[in-house]
């Protein structure tokens, strides 16, 4: 089996104690861990750095693990929790995330529960009884729930196997998703001194990683950082031109019968896009924090259960969602940072099959993001870091180098090669010099004194301003831009905004364009700095399929298709009956493998990836019956 993610950094800043148990115990604890991986989770082998992380925790040491989305972070703490004596505590920021994981574990026959504000008193009491009787292997809690004094007191009397801190980047204000309540988790080190702590996250640049270690007192613990590569993701980005709404509908219509997520910058926009998609016949739902709670959870459930549905959401829709078969993520508005980009795009293709990440962006998004940072009431140093993050994001989106490689380098990976499948690797970019036109646009913006928007600036250059005043018509820049079309001027203005040569003041939705960085502008006038316009060759439709480099697909052989569909129909009935998403029962991938192998016995079924002991006991007979129905 090929390991598609390689370790890039496993550092031990201070020597961690060698596990002394090794000398006495001849059996490698990893063998038992592997047996659990097979038996309980139905996976043949560890992947990426899972085995390294698990070995560290089994030796009783704390650690930090940065593994990509879908890389399998959860077994890194689930398996040690099951093997080590005592209760494994998992701190997680979202109830949706906990609910999903606990449901999945229970399906696999693992003794897991959660304590959160949604749990009724009866169930709570029962959970505490199981904790105190030592019957539970895993307990999921929120950070604020865990740090309540009575909770800490009660847990202090229970032996703990480990404490896992999921989404650990939330502890860092350099990260992209700082949550103040995570800061309290720093106290866990002194409260539970002998208990190994494992911080896990999917996205953290070097600075954020340092911060996580400092905040959680993991300075002396090893750090496992996996590659950020997601070879199943095909990335592309395009500047917004005209109506973004129309473009989104076009993109979705070109990807029929697939599940997707569309991120939009505001609640209103999610509603508008969802409506436009429904009008175009696409089953689309809007999702944002302004919706009533019950409606939100109904829509989430609808999305998770559907074989093809589109969710149009604000970033309120996210961390807890791991529908494995999301085939595309489209940003109708640019994300907030490269971390956010990678995490949001990363919700596509979690089953390992090919998926697309498409981003629409514009200079207006950038100005808006920069302005919001400017208005924030935070430390100037933090502001500076956040501004740099925004600039880096747009350098990625509007840049010319491989997108996947740029992201991986951003996270500190070295020796990264181009992905060969993003729009910049496969497409053609033509650069043409536009310095002279840029000089004209810059002087026009200067003469107009930052009082007008982009449209008026372009009209001025073309000499087409409606009801032009005498004073404006008398300016030397009036009508000097006849050589370019209006749309070419608009593109150039956008380019100048990205480069910071022009600046846009959002002005409450009626943005005004003015001259940007004075030194840079002067350099353009002197001809010391050149301005180039990019044109990207249009991608032919269907490129994605061709871009694949022999990776296996989920697509079942035509002869197995009917059985695959029958298995899905069975799974769908089962999921509805149990009120769980279908994928906690079996992933598509597992069903596809069953359809291909057509197991005739329990033993044969158990060899299929994703079928563990618990699921065999629960579903073995039913699955074998569906398969037998197709045998002849």
Report 335-394 residues binding Zn ion (CB under 5 A).
Answer: none
Q: Name which of 211 and 226 has its Cβ closer to ligand ADP.
A: 226
Report 107-146 residues binding ligand ADP (CB under 6 A).
Answer: none
Adjacent-strand bridge partners of 285: 311
Nearest to 262 by CA among 230, 285, 296: 285
Q: What does 422 bind: Zn ion, ligand ADP, none (CB cut-off 5 to 8 Å by kind)?
A: Zn ion
Question: Three-state DSSP class for 368?
Answer: helix
Q: What does 419 bind: ligand ADP, Zn ion, none (CB cut-off 5 to 8 Å by kind)?
A: Zn ion
Q: Name which of 33 and 422 has its Cβ closer to Zn ion.
A: 422
Q: Name which of 47 and 169 has its Cβ closer to ligand ADP.
A: 47
Are the beta carbons of 481 and 437 closer than 8 angstroms? yes
Q: How far apart are CA 289 and CA 535, in angstroms?
A: 38
Q: How far apart are CA 193 and CA 215, in angstroms?
A: 15
What is the smallest separation between the CB atom of 43 and ligand ADP, expressed in angstroms? 3
What is the smallest separation between the CB atom of 105 and Zn ion, expressed in angstroms? 37
Q: How far apart are CA 232 and CA 548, in angstroms?
A: 9
Q: How far apart are CA 207 and CA 462, in angstroms?
A: 48
Q: What does 75 bind: ligand ADP, Zn ion, none (CB cut-off 5 to 8 Å by kind)?
A: ligand ADP
Q: In the complex, which residue's CB is closest to ligand ADP? A: 72
Q: Name which of 9 and 425 has its Cβ closer to Zn ion.
A: 425
Instruction: Calculate the dihedral angle through the C-alpha atoms of 616, 618, 623, 626, rounding to the nearest 10 degrees.
Output: 160
Q: Name which of 319 and 445 has its Cβ closer to ligand ADP.
A: 319
Judged by CB under 6 A, does residue 201 bind ligand ADP? no
Question: Three-state DSSP class for 134?
Answer: coil
Question: Three-state DSSP class for 120?
Answer: coil
Sign of CA dihedral 339, 342, 345, 346: negative
Q: Name which of 320 and 511 has its Cβ closer to ligand ADP.
A: 320
Q: Beta strands 326-331 and 259-263: pairing type?
A: parallel
Candidates 167-175, 293-301, 395-403, 550-558 — which segment interacts with Zn ion by CB under 5 A?
395-403
Q: Name which of 299 and 403 has its Cβ closer to Zn ion.
A: 403
Q: Name which of 5 and 403 has its Cβ closer to ligand ADP.
A: 5
Q: Name which of 97 and 492 has its Cβ closer to ligand ADP.
A: 97
Q: Name which of 329 and 422 has its Cβ closer to Zn ion.
A: 422
Distances from the Cα of 140 to the Cαs of 104, 200, 463, in angstroms? 13, 14, 65
Q: What does 402 bind: Zn ion, ligand ADP, none (CB cut-off 5 to 8 Å by kind)?
A: Zn ion
Report 67-96 residues binding ligand ADP (CB under 6 A).
Answer: 67, 69-75
Q: Beta strands 7-11 and 223-226: pairing type?
A: antiparallel
DSSP character for 187? G
What is the smallest separation between the CB atom of 340 and Zn ion, expressed in angstroms? 20
E strands along 142-216, which residues? 160-165, 197-201
What is the smallest separation between the CB atom of 224 and ligand ADP, expressed in angstroms? 13
Helix/strand number for the chain, H first, E second: 29, 18
DSSP character for 27? S
Q: Name which of 69 and 107 has its Cβ closer to ligand ADP.
A: 69
Task: Please select the residue that binds Zn ion; options are 425, 486, 523, 597, rule is CB under 5 A.
Answer: 425
Distances from the Cα of 240 to the Cαs of 35, 348, 363, 495, in angstroms? 51, 22, 9, 12
Place of tokens 């997601």: 230
Adjacent-strand bridge partners of 287: 313
Q: Name which of 38 and 84 has its Cβ closer to ligand ADP.
A: 38
Structure tokens at 241: 């031109």
Question: Three-state DSSP class for 218?
Answer: coil
What is the smallest separation between the CB atom of 193 and ligand ADP, expressed in angstroms? 28
What is the smallest separation between the CB atom of 101 and ligand ADP, expressed in angstroms? 8
What is the smallest separation between the CB atom of 427 and Zn ion, expressed in angstroms? 10
Sign of CA dihedral 600, 606, 608, 614: positive
What is the smallest separation between the CB atom of 48 and Zn ion, expressed in angstroms? 21
Binding string, residues 14-53; x marks residues near ligand ADP by CB under 6 A: -----------------------------x--xx--x---
Judged by CB under 5 A, does residue 402 bind Zn ion? yes
Q: What does 411 bind: Zn ion, ligand ADP, none (CB cut-off 5 to 8 Å by kind)?
A: none
What is the smallest separation between the CB atom of 97 and ligand ADP, expressed in angstroms? 9
Candidates 63-71, 136-144, 437-445, 559-567 — which segment interacts with ligand ADP by CB under 6 A?
63-71
Q: How far apart are CA 612 and CA 43, in angstroms?
A: 8
Are the beta carbons of 81 and 88 closer than 8 angstroms? yes
What is the smallest separation between the CB atom of 123 and ligand ADP, expressed in angstroms? 24
What is the smallest separation between the CB atom of 406 and Zn ion, expressed in angstroms? 9
What is the smallest separation between the CB atom of 60 and ligand ADP, expressed in angstroms? 22
Q: How far apart are CA 307 and CA 575, in angstroms?
A: 13
Are the beta carbons of 69 and 343 closer than 8 angstroms? yes
Distances from the Cα of 536 to the Cαs of 114, 402, 548, in angstroms? 50, 14, 21
Report 294-353 residues binding ligand ADP (CB under 6 A).
Answer: 322
Q: Name which of 71 and 581 has its Cβ closer to ligand ADP.
A: 71
Judged by CB under 5 A, does residue 311 bind Zn ion? no
In sequence order, the 6+-apart residues with CB closer than 8 A to the CB of 528 are none
What is the smallest separation between the CB atom of 234 and Zn ion, expressed in angstroms? 9
Place of tokens 């590659």: 227
Question: Which residues contact Zn ion (rule: CB under 5 A)?
Answer: 402, 404, 418-419, 422, 425
For ligand ADP, the binding residues (CB under 6 A) are 43, 46-47, 50, 67, 69-75, 322
């Amino acid at each position: 089996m090929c390991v598609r993610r390689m370790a890039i950094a496993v550092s031990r800043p201070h020597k961690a104690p060698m596990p002394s148990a090794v000398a006495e115990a001849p059996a490698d604890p990893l063998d038992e861990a592997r047996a659990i991986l097979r038996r309980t989770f139905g996976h043949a082998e560890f992947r990426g750095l899972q085995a390294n992380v698990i070995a560290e925790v089994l030796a009783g040491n704390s650690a930090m693990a940065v593994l990509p989305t879908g890389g399998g972070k959860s077994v890194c703490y689930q398996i040690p929790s099951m093997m080590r004596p005592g209760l494994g505590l998992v701190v997680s920021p979202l109830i949706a995330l906990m609910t999903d994981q606990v449901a999945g574990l229970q399906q696999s026959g693992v003794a897991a529960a959660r304590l959160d504000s949604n749990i009724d008193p009866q169930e709570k009491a029962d959970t505490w009884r199981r904790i105190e009787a030592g019957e539970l292997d895993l307990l999921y809690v929120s950070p604020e729930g865990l740090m309540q004094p009575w909770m800490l007191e009660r847990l202090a009397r229970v032996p703990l196997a480990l404490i896992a801190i999921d989404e650990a980047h939330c502890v860092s204000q350099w990260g992209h998703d700082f949550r103040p309540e995570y800061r309290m988790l720093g106290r866990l080190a002194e409260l539970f001194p002998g208990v190994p702590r494992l911080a896990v996250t999917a996205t953290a640049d070097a600075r954020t990683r340092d911060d996580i270690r400092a905040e959680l007192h993991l300075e002396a613990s090893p750090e496992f950082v996996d590659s950020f590569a997601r070879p199943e993701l095909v990335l592309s980005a395009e500047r917004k031109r005209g109506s973004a709404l129309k473009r989104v509908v076009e993109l979705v219509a070109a990807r029929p019968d697939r599940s997707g997520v569309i991120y939009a910058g505001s609640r209103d926009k999610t509603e508008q896009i969802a409506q436009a998609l429904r009008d175009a016949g696409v089953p689309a739902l809007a999702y944002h924090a302004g919706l009533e709670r019950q409606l939100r959870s109904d829509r989430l459930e609808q999305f998770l259960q559907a074989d093809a549905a589109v969710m149009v959401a604000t970033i309120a829709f996210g961390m807890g969602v791991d529908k494995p078969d999301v085939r595309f993520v489209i940003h109708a508005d640019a994300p907030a940072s490269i971390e956010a980009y990678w995490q949001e795009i990363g919700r596509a293709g979690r089953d390992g099959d090919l998926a697309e990440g498409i981003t629409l962006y514009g200079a207006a998004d950038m100005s808006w993001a920069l302005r919001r940072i400017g208005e924030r009431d935070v430390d100037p140093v933090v502001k500076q870091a956040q501004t740099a993050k925004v600039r880096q994001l747009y350098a990625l989106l509007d840049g010319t180098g491989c997108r996947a490689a740029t992201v991986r380098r951003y996270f500190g990976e070295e020796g990264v090669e181009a992905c060969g499948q993003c729009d910049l690797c496969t497409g053609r970019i033509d650069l043409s010099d536009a310095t002279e036109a840029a000089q004209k646009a810059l002087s026009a913006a200067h003469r107009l004194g930052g009082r007008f928007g982009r449209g008026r600036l372009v009209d001025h250059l073309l000499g087409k301003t409606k009801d032009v005043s005498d004073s404006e018509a008398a300016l030397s820049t009036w009508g000097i831009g006849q050589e370019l079309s209006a749309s070419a001027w608009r593109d150039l203005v956008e380019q100048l905004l990205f480069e910071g040569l022009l600046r846009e003041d959002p002005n409450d939705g009626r943005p005004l364009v003015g001259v940007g960085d004075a030194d840079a502008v002067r350099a353009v006038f002197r001809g010391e700095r050149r301005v180039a316009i990019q044109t990207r060759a249009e991608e032919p439709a269907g490129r994605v399929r061709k871009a694949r480099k022999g990776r296996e697909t989920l697509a079942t052989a035509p002869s197995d298709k009917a059985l695959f569909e029958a298995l899905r129909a069975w799974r769908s009935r089962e999921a509805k009956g149990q009120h769980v998403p279908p994928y906690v029962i079996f992933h598509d991938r597992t069903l596809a493998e069953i359809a291909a192998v057509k197991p005739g016995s329990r033993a044969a079924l158990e060899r299929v990836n994703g079928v563990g002991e618990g699921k065999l006991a629960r579903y073995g007979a039913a699955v074998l019956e569906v398969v037998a129905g197709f045998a002849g």
